[in-house]
Structure 1
């Protein structure tokens, strides 16, 4: 697709190919609401799974005898399967049809979740999480591209993506509470719940999601294999080196990561129908949106893991107590997200992302400065930080999704959707791997063991803030020069 200028964009000087009247709102009938509901359920399931497993990690580790370095693979296995194949999932949704890919992947997601609850071996549990992440890599971009192709660019799409965020926030908050209750009974129940929900989503999707014909083209399986292999090798190296140093194995995985990722970039630039059309990365706003996604997910996934371990292992809070403590983050997102579309219409995406990253930075700093007391005052020491993080998600997630898919033709919406979600998951995997390496040593008697990881997530959020702020400063300079 060649990107041609049709109208000015509100947040960047780089144009796209939007709808002829992108900001004209329209009335939504029951069919549109039903499509949005079913697509949102995929987001709900993903967020539900992430939050439930985060709460259950200490219980899983206690029963299976896993250390922190092993526990992080339960999270990262899912993230890597997810992030490594999101681009392939998005491309297959474009080529094979979004409904077909969406339904097929939901089946695999449900089965993998069931298997994860049945196994007792560390390796099998991690393998089930990887497969589950792979399935999510196909449901997520298919769901997002269903929305971006169903709702026209501008007001309608901004509004739809705002509600899409609500599903994620509701899933996250629900997962915390449900997992807090179920983990107290048996952590395996947290793996069975998604399986039951998937059955209902499949039934609804079969009747609600419209059939779509795939585009003509080939699927770049080679590119997907290179990217996924490179990411696995890179994360394995990041996790292992802090404990073992550079052994022959880690040197080999480091070399493999460099070679595979470099080969991926070379191959994508040469073949006719690549997994990533690298030309899409010439659109500056899309690059910044992907950097913001890396910062948001990279910092928060690591923060949630650190806080879960700290509150349950160090302060000896119960799973439900810990879940209730984190729940306000999801609640504030659910309350504020429906208004995000209106704010995007008025101010554009870049100011929203800047405000979001600022809120994340302040939230992390508050927790670092106030946490550490063995008998904390929750409403003073923790709650303000969690509310700031919820505010960051509420105003940042929708803006990032809009910016990443704005001005992209329908036949590449799966690619753009997969790209921004891949960035988020890769950011989550890499930052979590580094954070785990930083906190794996020491004595878990106070917050000091976890501070290096908390410093890391704060730096990641600051980098995201700076990357977004440069866009606004650059645009103002261009306006003044003009």
Structure 2
């Protein structure tokens, strides 16, 4: 790629780095925010959950908006919104102000991130060049989260408000660079107007389903609220399908949802990311609550999981070129099974050296699986629907993170509820919660293996690779620098 192509990629990767570092820093700072503003436990939890609701609830709509309204336009507008509301969060003096700021910031990320990803998939030639760009994008996301844990710990020492102001500075720099770097697109051609009923039912369904998942963390308070949210969400999802079937210009072309490889990739991303965040959540609790480590010590211990930021753009492209997406994804899932399994017998006096193999293997597994899943989720999709494909992928990852954290929290709470609260009993609850990420990656490995088996059936009689999904030579659009 040319220097111009690399410049564009770095700007777009800056967005996903911004999103990752923002989430990680806040996760470290929540205890300090709670103490300074005298927030209740429920309000502090909603400071984190509001972002997830905004992100998961609007990512599908955000991805499609990039296709219909212009990727550059959506990218710049919502990056600006992200900047403004991150700054407002840093000025908050009440819990409700923080919750509103985080919800809108999540909505901004829901529009901004799929736009950035679709700019990559439409600006770089399909094949090795696009794969390289997507793997760098995925590695940058992981690096942002890993570094965010450490930076968040350091900034919290200065004052928790810097956790909100630091992303403002970074976002402003990305915005200035994006105005000069991201190429101007021709105005999208639209016929039939906008599918407003479809947009409303899609956003409503995603919000309700995300809310139901988030409330699973509080299952001890009763199942009525999450069950009602799930039921209402599924009802709206069914209504959305009916609307799309009859719409002259549907928000989502339902035939898109019949792409088996894309659905497998999205489901695999949900399970893998869910297992990753669930595992990290349990390990963080283990180190801080059971072992008494500080937030900064914990962040420094977990930073080794950021090895994927180095491996994703260097090792993974070579493996994908050599073995193909599906085999590398399967390798990532198998490695994750091994890494989480090694941590199951965790003890009260484990040294960091004993934990290190699991942490480094977890980062390596992420490098092998996440980037190739991103490639598989967008491969063969027409340019006009790349935003939608990116939106579906990011919706899956956001739901996955919510499912993973909620599931381990629910299991931990159920097991620890009937114990005496001793260290040994708490350790038993941690071990039970660790089974959740293991189950998730086992399911992901089975789905990936099934896809490999299906691919072999489609191979030619000579045993060679299956025919391409779509015909025609890939093309690079303006700004690719190909």
Write the distance in 2 (CA, Å) between the matches of 1:186 and 1:309.
23
Query: What is the CA distance between 1:355 and its match in structure 2?
Result: 0.8
Moved more, 419-428 or 310-319: 310-319
Distance 1:481 1:164, change over 3 A: same
Moved more, 472-481 or 452-461: 472-481
Aligned with residue 303 of structure 1, among 250, 273, 279: 279
Given the two structures, how large is their TM-score scaled by the length of structure 1? 0.87
Query: Are the aligned partners of 2:57 and 2:210 in contact in 1 as well (CA < 8 Å)?
Result: no
**For residue 224 of structure 1, what is the aligned residue in structure 2?**
199
Query: What is the CA distance between 1:251 and its match in structure 2?
Result: 5.4
2:395 partner SS: helix
Write the distance in 2 (CA, Å) between the matches of 1:33 and 1:120.
41
Moved more, 215-224 or 391-400: 215-224
1:298 partner SS: helix
Query: Are the aligned partners of 2:136 and 2:312 in contact in 1 as well (CA < 8 Å)?
Result: no
Given the two structures, how large is their TM-score scaled by the length of structure 2? 0.87
Deviations 1:65-93 (A, max 9, x none): 66776655433322221122112111111
**For residue 124 of structure 2, what is the aligned residue in structure 1?**
151
What are the equivalent positions in structure 2 for 1:10-409 lying under 5 Å apart?
Answer: 28-63=1-36, 71-217=44-190, 218-238=193-213, 239=215, 242-247=219-224, 249=225, 252-369=228-345, 371-373=346-348, 375-380=349-354, 382-409=355-382
Query: Are the aligned partners of 2:32 and 2:160 in contact in 1 as well (CA < 8 Å)?
Result: yes
Write the distance in 2 (CA, Å) between the matches of 1:114 and 1:255.
36
Instruction: Please list every run of 5 or more consecutive structure 2 residues that lacks an aligned counterpart in the other structure.
Output: 463-482
Distance 1:368 1:475, change over 3 A: same
Write the distance in 2 (CA, Å) between the matches of 1:480 and 1:95.
38
Deviations 1:381-408 (A, max 9, x none): x211111111111111221111111111
**For residue 438 of structure 2, what is the aligned residue in structure 1?**
458
Query: Are the aligned partners of 1:230 and 1:261 in contact in 2 as well (CA < 8 Å)?
Result: yes
Query: Are the aligned partners of 1:361 and 1:462 in contact in 2 as well (CA < 8 Å)?
Result: yes
Write the distance in 1 (CA, Å) between the matches of 2:202 and 2:430.
31
Moved more, 221-230 or 342-351: 221-230
Write the distance in 1 (CA, Å) between the matches of 2:97 and 2:91.
10
Moved more, 87-96 or 149-158: 87-96
RMSD between aligned residues: 2.4
Deviations 1:119-176 (A, max 9, x none): 2433332222221111011111111111111101001101111221232233122212
Query: Are the aligned partners of 2:78 and 2:112 in contact in 1 as well (CA < 8 Å)?
Result: yes
Query: What is the CA distance between 1:480 and its match in structure 2?
Result: 9.0
Distance 1:469 1:60, change over 3 A: farther
Query: Are the aligned partners of 2:311 and 2:364 in contact in 1 as well (CA < 8 Å)?
Result: no
Write the distance in 2 (CA, Å) between the matches of 1:438 and 1:289.
27
Write the distance in 1 (CA, Å) between the matches of 2:246 and 2:422.
50
Query: Are the aligned partners of 1:330 and 1:390 in contact in 2 as well (CA < 8 Å)?
Result: yes
2:158 partner SS: coil
Deviations 1:383-440 (A, max 9, x none): 1111111111111122111111111111111111111111111222233233333334
Query: Are the aligned partners of 1:90 and 1:142 in contact in 2 as well (CA < 8 Å)?
Result: yes
